[in-house]
Amino acid sequence: MRPLTEEETEKVLGKLTYFIGDNVAQLIDRSDGNYCFRNHKERVYYCSEKLMRQASVIAREPLLAFGTCLGKFTKTKKFYLHITALDYLAPYAKNRVWLKSQAEQQFLYGNNILKSGIGRMSEATPSNAGVVVFSMTDTPLGFGVSAKSTQDCKKADPTAVVLLHQCDLGEYIRSEATLT
C-alpha cells in the first residue's frame, strides 16, 4: 500500500472528472473526515484515513482489499474504473441516462444501449462524455460513454447506438474473481 504518485493521481482524478466533473473536489476534501487514495497491488482504493491506517498493519501479500476499489492500473499504466467505483460516481454524476425496463437487462448483460432503450437523458450531454446509467426507479446500474449528444439523439433513429457500455452491475457476477 502506498500513496499515488503525481502521474497516478492525475490519471485517477482525470478519469473521475470524466464522470463527475468538479465534484471530484468533494471526494478529495470531505467534510466528514479525511479520506485518501491508495495504490495497493496496482489497484486504487479509496478509504478513510482510519481504515487505511488499520489496513497498513497487514503485510502487502496477505492484504486483499480495503475501502472501496475504484479501479486498476493496467500494465501500460492506464487507469480503468471498476464497477465498485459506482457508489461514488452515481450521486455526483454530471451526465445521466435512465433506461427503460426492457433495456435494463440488455445493459446488465454487457451490451450497448440503443436509442429505443433510453427512457430519459440529462440535458446538454455532449458526445463522448462519461455517463452514469440508472434504471427508471433511480437505481444506478453502471456507467458508459455517450456515443451521441442529447441534441443528436433527438434526431437519431431508434436503432442508433446512443450509449457505449463500460461497466455494469452484472460484473459483480461475471468477473467476481478479479473484483476486489
Partner 1 sequence: MDLIGHFPSTEVQKDVDPMVDVGNLLLIDRQPVTSDSDELKDRARNNTQLLLNAIWQLERQQVEDAVVAILPAPTYRLPREKIIPQPRQPTKWELYAKAKGIKKRTKDKKKFDDLTGEWKPTYGYRRGNDSTKDWVIEIPQNAADPMKDFFEERIEAKKERVAKNEMQRLKNIAKQLNSTVKKGESTDKLIGVGVNPMEKTKQQVRFAADRARAATASAGKFQETIKGEKPNVKTGKKRKFEPNEGKITEENKRALQIFDKIKAKKIKIIEEKAAEIAGPNSSDEGKKERGKKGKKPARMKSEVHRQQWFKNKIKSKKSASARGGRKGKK
The stretch among 10-18, 66-74, 84-92, 156-164 that binds partner 1 (CB under 8 A) is 10-18
User: Which residue's CB is nearer to partner 1, number 6 or number 157?
Assistant: 6
CB 19 within 8 A of CB 130: yes
- Does 88 bind partner 1 (CB under 8 A)? Our answer is no
Polymer length in residues for the chain: 180
CB 34 within 8 A of CB 48: yes
- Does 77 bind partner 1 (CB under 8 A)? Our answer is no
CB 118 within 8 A of CB 162: yes
- Does 56 bind partner 1 (CB under 8 A)? Our answer is yes
CB 24 within 8 A of CB 17: yes
* Total binding residues toward partner 1, as defined by CB under 8 A: 24
Question: Residue from 38, 72, 82, 94 that binds partner 1 (CB under 8 A)?
Answer: 38
- Does 42 bind partner 1 (CB under 8 A)? Our answer is no
- Does 32 bind partner 1 (CB under 8 A)? Our answer is no
- Alpha carbons 178 and 34: distance in angstroms, whole number: 28
- Does 24 bind partner 1 (CB under 8 A)? Our answer is yes
User: Which residue's CB is nearer to partner 1, number 48 or number 112?
Assistant: 48
User: Cα 163 to the chain's mean position, in Å?
Assistant: 15
C-alpha grid cell, residue 118: 433510453
Q: How far is the CB of 2 from partner 1 (least distance, A)?
A: 5
Q: How far is the CB of 135 from partner 1 (least distance, A)?
A: 30
- Does 23 bind partner 1 (CB under 8 A)? Our answer is no
User: Which residue's CB is nearer to partner 1, number 25 or number 136?
Assistant: 25
Q: Which residues bind partner 1 (CB under 8 A)?
A: 1-3, 5-6, 9-10, 13-14, 17, 22, 24-25, 28-29, 34-38, 49, 52-53, 56
